[in-house]
């Protein structure tokens, strides 16, 4: 009976669950390509996720992403969204700007997960800027690294309140370097372009020499073939040291007793790659196996594996012993049992014979 239960458990464990890995399918940044001083301009940023719907076991609590713009030219004035009830705000840390969008767990709005008050759909937000008076004729707004903070239904605490600054510093298991930007021609007054012979309004002419990259740390290159680089340059595990080599994909790790979660930080070798960490938030549930899947810009994947060795708890030791007993072949038990019984009979016979011999000698003496 126990073997049947174990077999059924293994079959169940091997079945695919609804969504245990959240990954980003694509992103987009759309809007006008011209702006007028003292007026507003709006951009729409959207992200689509793979296999995320209202029946998923994972839900999104928040997203955060770096937004690059010249604050001498633009001011962010408001946010709006038709896709879920997001509370968005601008956060500045270490000289960089981040947009943080947190789901209103009291009223998640459209695309609410069925089993928890989180968001189970794609992300979209409209970002409205005011254009300041300036001496610039060209400027741009860009999106940098995009991160998703998601929870499994069994791990999400509905009573906890999250702050935007806290979200920016949280460890994300899913991120993508978006590196999209919108280039603007800036006018002092509303331009009145003359339609061409086809009746179409021509796009404003932008002098590339006037363009200033708002994020000089990111090298700008011409569009070319998508990179196949799916290497990590480093893996850091809080409280532990591992000797990382990008060519080695499997690492053993011994943890202390009682540890069931690892805080892992990875560094990608190529900025256009993305990664997903699976199994780090619940080691026991994932059989002490952590997988870091790195997806190159062209879609090629590489999986780094961390095999965790954990000291057994007392209950696990007892269960392991019982499991070992149940796994031994019954024939071996019969042979072992028969051998032990045979030894007991032989020893008992010898003792009985010696006792009878002793009693006879005692009678002769008497």
Angle at 245 between CA 234 and CA 65, to 5 degrees: 20
Phi-psi region of 147 (alpha: psi -120 to 50; beta: other; left: phi over 0): beta
Domain 225-311 in the same topology as domain 17-192+203-220 = yes
User: pTM above 0.85?
Assistant: no
Angle at 123 between CA 122 and CA 126, to 5 degrees: 145
Could you tell me which CATH number the domain at 17-192+203-220 has?
2.60.40.680
By the 8 A CB rule, do 251 and 307 touch?
yes
Q: Of the CATH numbers 3.40.50.2000, 3.40.228.10, 3.30.2270.10, 2.60.40.2340, which one belongs to the domain with range 225-311? A: 2.60.40.2340
What pLDDT score does 19 carry? Answer: 35
What pLDDT score does 113 carry? Answer: 82
Q: Which tokens belong to 57?
A: 């076991």
d(CA 270, CA 275): 11
What are the extents of the domains in the chain? 17-192+203-220, 225-311
10-residue stretch averages of pLDDT, the chain, 366 residues long: 39 36 82 90 90 74 91 92 83 89 80 81 92 88 90 77 78 79 87 58 51 46 67 91 91 90 88 86 90 89 92 58 57 69 75 63 57
């Amino acid at each position: 009976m126990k073997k049947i239960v174990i077999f059924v458990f293994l079959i169940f464990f091997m079945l695919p669950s609804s969504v245990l890995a959240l990954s980003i399918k694509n992103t987009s940044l759309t809007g006008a390509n011209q702006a007028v001083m003292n007026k507003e301009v709006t951009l729409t940023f959207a992200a689509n996720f793979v296999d995320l719907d209202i029946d998923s076991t994972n839900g999104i609590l928040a997203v955060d992403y770096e937004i690059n713009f010249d604050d001498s030219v633009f001011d962010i004035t408001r946010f709006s969204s038709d896709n879920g009830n997001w509370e968005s705000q601008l956060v500045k840390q270490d000289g960089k700007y981040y947009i943080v969008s947190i789901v209103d767990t009291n009223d998640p709005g459209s695309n609410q997960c069925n089993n928890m008050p989180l968001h189970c759909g794609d992300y979209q937000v409209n970002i409205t800027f005011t254009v300041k008076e300036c001496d610039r004729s060209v400027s741009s707004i860009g999106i940098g690294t995009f991160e998703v903070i998601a929870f499994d239904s069994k791990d999400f605490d509905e009573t906890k309140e999250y702050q935007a600054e806290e979200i920016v510093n949280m460890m994300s298991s899913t991120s993508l370097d978006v590196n999209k930007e919108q280039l603007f021609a800036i006018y002092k007054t509303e331009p009145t372009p003359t339609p061409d012979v086809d009746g179409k309004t021509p796009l404003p002419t932008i002098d590339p020499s006037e363009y200033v990259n708002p994020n000089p740390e990111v090298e700008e290159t011409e569009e070319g073939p998508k990179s196949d680089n799916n290497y990590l340059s480093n893996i850091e595990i809080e409280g532990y040291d591992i000797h990382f080599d990008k060519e080695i994909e499997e690492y053993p790790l011994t943890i202390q007793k009682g540890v069931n979660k690892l805080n892992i930080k990875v560094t990608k070798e190529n900025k256009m790659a993305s990664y997903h960490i699976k199994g780090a938030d619940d080691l026991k549930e994932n059989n002490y196996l952590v997988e870091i899947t790195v997806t190159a810009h062209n879609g090629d994947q590489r999986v780094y594996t961390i095999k965790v060795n954990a000291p057994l708890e007392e209950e696990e030791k007892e269960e392991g012993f019982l499991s070992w007993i149940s796994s031994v072949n019954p024939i071996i038990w019969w042979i072992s049992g028969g051998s032990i019984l045979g030894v007991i009979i032989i020893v008992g016979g010898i003792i009985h014979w010696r006792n009878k011999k002793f009693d006879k000698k005692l009678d002769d003496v008497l």
